[in-house]
Amino acid sequence: MFADYTNFPFYATIVSGTWLIGALLIWATVFMIRPVSGKSKLGAILDASSVVRTPAGRVTGIAGNVMVIGGLLVFGYYLTFLWLGLGRAPMRTLGETRLWYSFFLGLIGYVTYLRWNYKWFLVYSVLMAVLFMMINLISPENFSKTLMPALQSPWFVPHVIVYIFAYALLGAASLVAVYGLWLEYFRTFRMKLLQLADNLVYIGFAFLTLGLLFGAVWAKEAWGHYWTWDPKETWAFITWMMYLIYMHFRYFHPKKIRTPLWVLALAFVILLIAWFGVNYLPSAQSSVHVYS
């Protein structure tokens, strides 16, 4: 019934289609709500815990979930047969690596959505996943493109994926912080907003920690040291510490508003340095993390 595993465009189309439509349907349910008494519609959208879904919303949500799960199953089926067909783990080339990005972006994005009900996050994960699939479709040459030996490690894919998630969540937390600062200085701040930021930071921080640990274990496997304090690692560590400060400060001073908001906004600046800036530092020229 299904085409063989060499027909990647066929599977990519099915998976991208079901995921995109499914995620958008789920996201659309944000607007299919009846506010509880005394709440504005916008307030209800921001605070999903106090809304009632309309019947149309419920049906749309179910349809969306079915599509996302269907896409996951098809993708899993494809990967299984690719693995069997090649007779080896399909993790040798950049193109194959991207397949795993796509799959796990979809999977973890969906699990995170199920657990935390962040619909925007599902849409983001699916968009990233589809992006990686598109790269493989547009340049199939990359399927056989070389992967340098140091990157041919089972730790490579998880290392990159969890960073993609961490950046998205922590970036969202910082947007919340900037919005919060604006409210705090020019309008009225609501504590709900800091709780939202907390939750995003906690989940994002979990991914960031996983990224750091995968990186350390991988480095130990590949080079014999966990941590060499190369510039990228140094800045990743500083970023991690900034979010630690935020979490601990929030725990100890649950009622303070301005300091944690500023810490969170600053932490994101550091994160951006760790992500992009380091490549431009003169000290980074020898870094193993700068790929041309």
Partner 1 sequence: MDNKEISPNQNSRSRLFRPPWKYREGFIVALALMLLGFAIEAVTPQPGISIPSFPFNMYAGMAFVTTIVFLHLFYRDMHMVRWLSTIPSAVSAICLIVLLTILMGVFEQDRPDAGGIHGAIGLTHMKNAWVFLLAQLYLLVSLGLAILKRAFPFRKKNTGFLLNHLGLWIVIAGGSLGTGDLQRYRMDLYEDEPVWYAYDSQSNYYEMPFALELINFDIEEYPPQLAIVDSHTGRLTDDSQRPLPYIEAGKTTQLMEWTIHIDEFYPMALPENGRVAYSEEKGAPPYARVRVANNNTGETHEGWISCGSFMYDTKLLWLDGRNVLVMTLPEPRRYLSNVIALTPREDPRELVIEVNKPPKVAGWRLYQLSYNQAMGKWSDVSVIEAVRDPWLPVVYAGIIMLFAGAAYIFWIGKEIKDEGPVTEP
What is the contact mask toward ligand HEM in residues 182 to 221, using x (rule: CB under 6 A)?
Answer: ----------------------------------------
The piece of 32-40, 94-102, 172-180, 242-250 that touches ligand HEM (CB under 6 A) is 242-250
The half-sphere exposure of 189 on its side-chain side, counting CA atoms within 13 A, is: 21
Say if residues 243 and 270 touch (Cβ distance below 8 Å).
no
Angstrom distance (rounded) from CA 121 to CA 117: 9
Residue in 104, 207, 261, 264 binding partner 1, rule: CB under 8 A: 207
Q: Which helix (H) or strand (E) holds 33?
A: strand 33-35
Q: How far is the CB of 247 from partner 1 (least distance, A)?
A: 8
Give the one entry of ligand HEM, partner 1, none that residue 223 binds, where binding means its C-beta sits below a cut-off of 5 to 8 angstroms depending on kind: partner 1
Sign of the Cα pseudo-torsion (175, 195, 51, 110, in order): positive
What is the contact mask toward ligand HEM in residues 243 to 262, using x (rule: CB under 6 A)?
Answer: -x--xx--x-----------
Give the one entry of ligand HEM, partner 1, none that residue 66 binds, where binding means its C-beta sits below a cut-off of 5 to 8 angstroms depending on kind: none
Give the one entry of ligand HEM, partner 1, none that residue 199 binds, where binding means its C-beta sits below a cut-off of 5 to 8 angstroms depending on kind: partner 1
Residue in 7, 13, 117, 144 binding partner 1, rule: CB under 8 A: 144
φ, ψ at 52 (rounded to 5°): -120, 130
Q: How far is CA 222 from the centre of its chain?
A: 26
What is the contact mask toward partner 1 in residues 83 to 122, using x (rule: CB under 8 A)?
Answer: ---------x----------------------xx------
Angstrom distance (rounded) from CA 218 to CA 67: 35
Say if residues 135 and 229 touch (Cβ distance below 8 Å).
no
Q: How far is the CB of 203 from partner 1 (least distance, A)?
A: 6
- Report the DSSP pairing between strands 33-35 and 51-53: antiparallel
DSSP codes, 103-166: HHHHHHHHHHHHHH--HHHHHHHHHHHHHHHHHHHH-GGGGG----GGG-STTHHHHHHHHHHH
Residue in 35, 39, 77, 209 binding partner 1, rule: CB under 8 A: 209
Angstrom distance (rounded) from CA 120 to CA 90: 30
Based on CB atoms, which residue is closest to ligand HEM, 100 or 246?
Answer: 246
Which one, of 120, 24, 23, 27, lies nearest residue 69 by Cα?
A: 23
Residue 210 near partner 1 by CB under 8 A:
yes
Residue 174 near partner 1 by CB under 8 A:
no
Q: How far is the CB of 201 from ligand HEM (least distance, A)?
A: 10
Rounded to the nearest 5 percent, the helix, strand and coil shares of the chain are 80, 0, 20
Residue 91 near ligand HEM by CB under 6 A:
no
Residue 11's alpha-carbon distances to 76, 86, 240, 289, in angstroms, are 10, 17, 38, 32
Residues of this chain that bind partner 1 (CB under 8 A): 92, 115-116, 139, 141-142, 144-146, 148-150, 152-153, 184, 188-191, 195, 198-199, 202-203, 205-207, 209-210, 213, 216-217, 220-224, 226-227, 229, 231, 234-235, 237-238, 241-242, 244-245, 248-249, 251-257, 259, 281, 283
Residues of this chain that bind ligand HEM (CB under 6 A): 244, 247-248, 251
